[in-house]
Amino acid sequence: MKKLIIPGVILVLIVGFILFIQNVNINRLGSDSYYVQIKAPGEKIEGRSDSGQDYVDYKYVLYGYDKEGNEKKLTFTAIKQLRQDAYLNLFVKEDKGVTSYQEVQLNEIPKKAKEKLK
């Protein structure tokens, strides 16, 4: 009986780990949320990767607001031009800056941050 329990537990742990990795953005863990609105096109930045492949990024420098309405100047890049007037939730870590972002609707933004964005 013990021969079946240990492999079963290991299988459950492996499946759980795989599901966790697929559904959780690790860049968002332990980060602070700031809310911004895209009001202008990003600055086009062209470059070449170490492997020699050309790429284009778009740099944005915006003021964001946390749930308490505190302001912070944030810089981040995107692989495409972001939609004008879109609201974003930026995930910010003190030591790394913006690590991820997600488009949100105005009604999803906390009240104090929403007041600052209007």
Closest CA relative to residue 66, chosen from 94, 95, 38, 36: 36
Structural domain boundaries enclosing 42: 30-117
CATH code, domain with 69? 2.40.50.480
pTM of the predicted model, to two decimals?
0.77
Residue 19 lies in a domain: no
Structural domain total, the chain: 1
Per-residue pLDDT for 19 more than 80?
no
Looking at residue 25, its pLDDT comes to 64
* Summary mean pLDDT of the chain: 89
Residue 23 lies in a domain: no
Residue 108 lies in a domain: yes
Residue 79 lies in a domain: yes
Looking at residue 20, its pLDDT comes to 67
Per-residue pLDDT for 21 more than 90?
no
- Cα torsion 90, 94, 95, 99 to 10°: value is -10
